[in-house]
A and B are shown apart, each in its own frame.
Chain A
Amino acid sequence: MAYRHVVGSHIWAFADLATLMAKATPPRSGDRLAGIAAETAEESWAARWCLAEVPLKEILARPLIPYEADAVTRLILDTHDQAAFAEIGHLTVGDFREFLLTASTETLARIAPAVTPEIAAAVSKIMRNQDLILVARKCRVVTRFRNTIGLPGTLAVRLQPNHPTDDPAGITAAILDGLSYGCGDAVIGINPASDSVQALGDLLKLLDELIQRHAIPTQACVLTHVTTTLEAMERGLPVDLVFQSVAGTEAANAGFGVTLGLLKEAHEAMLGLKRGSLGDNGMYFETGQGSCLSADAHHGIDQQTLEARAYAVARAFRPLLVNTVVGFIGPEYLYDGKEIIRAGLEDHFCGKLMGVPLGVDVCYTNHAEADQDDMDTLLTLLGAAGCTYVMGVPGADDVMLNYQSTSFHDQLYLREVLGLKRAPEFEAWLHAIGLTDGQGALLTGAPNRLLADAAGIAA
C-alpha cells in the first residue's frame, strides 16, 4: 500500500513502509549511497508527517523483511510481547512520541518487550535530539556480572588498552594507566591484533590474573570472533564475557560469520562457566549503522532501522553490554559531526527503549568531517541521556584500530560536569585502594598501589 501526504498543491507518495521510513530519516550519507534517501528537504518532512500518522499495529503487521526470508525478522516477531503491546497498540507513531515524553520509568520498562526495532526506529525519526535524550534518560536497564551496570546517576567505562602487536607489557601498562583514572567498570576489553586461539589465551590469562591479583570488581573480554571464544572456553581458558559484532539482517550476520544458533550456543557455554559473581549477563555485542549496507545485505531499508534490528538480536541474549561504534565506519555512512551526533543519540535511544543496556563508542576516523569538539558535544549529550557506558582509550587515540574514541580524561570531565558515578562495587574498590576520595573524585598525589605491578614489566 502506498502512503501519501499533501503539502500545498503537491502530493507526496511513498510506495511502501520501507520507502517511507527511509525518506523520513534525518539525512545521512549512507542512505544516499544506498539510493533510498529523500531527494529534497521537503520530501523528508512530508515523509515524517506521513509516518507520524501510521498506527504502531500497522508497523507490526508489515515486516520490512518478510518473516520467511530473514531469521532476525522471525526473532523479532516470535518474541514480541502481545500483552505488553496492549498498552500502546492503539497509538500512531506520532501519538507514541507524546506517550514516551510523558511516560514514567516504570511504564517504559513495562512496554520495552512490546517495542520492536521498527517501532523504535519509526518514532525516533520524528523525534528531535532533545526528545531522544529526555526519553532515553528515563529508561532504566540494569545488568550484572561482577558489578552493577546502569543504575541511575552512573556511567561505566570500558577500558580499551589495545596494542598494535598485542604486547603483554604494553597492554598491562595501558590497563594500569586506565585503572588509575578510575576506568574499567564496564569491562577491561582488548581488541586483539591477532586472531589465533593461542594469542587469545595469553591475553585472557593476563586479564584474569590482573583482575584477581587486585580483586577488581569487573570483568574481562578479548573481542574476537565468537567461534574463537567458543574454542577458548572448550580449552578451559578464563572467559568472562563472550563478544560478537552483530547486525540487523540474517545476511549481514552471515557476513560476520554468525547465526542466531551460534550465538545461542556461545551464550549457553558462557552460562555454564558461572564466572559472574553478581549476575549472569555475560554477553557483549557491538553494532554500528551502515554494517548491513557495507555487507550488501540491507534489503533497501535505511541504516538506522537496520541498526535498531541489531539490538533485537542483542536483546535475545540478555547482554551485559551493547555498544554502537558510531563514527567508526566512515563518511560514506555518516559524513560529519552532525550526522555522527544524531546517529549516536538515535542508537542510544532505540537501544534503551527496547530494554538493551546501550553504551556508545563516541568516535570518528580521520576522513570524516569531525573532530574532538564534535566528540565533546556527543559525549556531553549522551551523559545527559543516561548512556550506560563509553570507551576509555589512552589519549583518545587507538593505536591498534587507528581511530579516535573517548579518553580516560573524557570520562573524568563528564563525571565532574554531570555528577555521574561509577558502578558502585567498582567505586568502592577505587576508594578502598586509596585512589579516590569518598565521593569518587581522584586523589591527587596519592600513592598508587597498582604501580607495584609496574616494577616487573618496566624494569
Chain B
Amino acid sequence: MTLSIDDVKQIADLAYIKVDEDEAKAALAKLSDIFKLIETMQAVDTTGVTPMSHAQDLVQRLREDRVNESDQRELYQSIAPQVEAGLYLVPKVIE
C-alpha cells in the first residue's frame, strides 16, 4: 500500500485535525514507514481465527435502573471554555 499526500490530508480531515502542507508531507514519510511495519502481519494465515477484541471474556454488567449519580453540572461546566445558562457554547451551526 502506498499513501499519497492527498490520502494524508483526507485522513486528517476525517479525524478533524488541521494539518498544513509541511505537516502533511512530514506525516506522509513517517506514516509510510509505519505502514511498512504494520503490513508484516498481513502475510499471517488467520483463516478460522476469531478476532480478539479484548483481553478478558466479559459481558457488560447490568444494574438496577435507578439514579446513582448526582447533578454536577456547575462543577463540570466551571472548566469549560464557554458556557451560558448551563449550556456549552459553540459557534453557530444553523443559519
Determine if chain A interacts with chain B. no
Q: Which B positions have Cβ atoms within 8 angstroms of A?
A: none
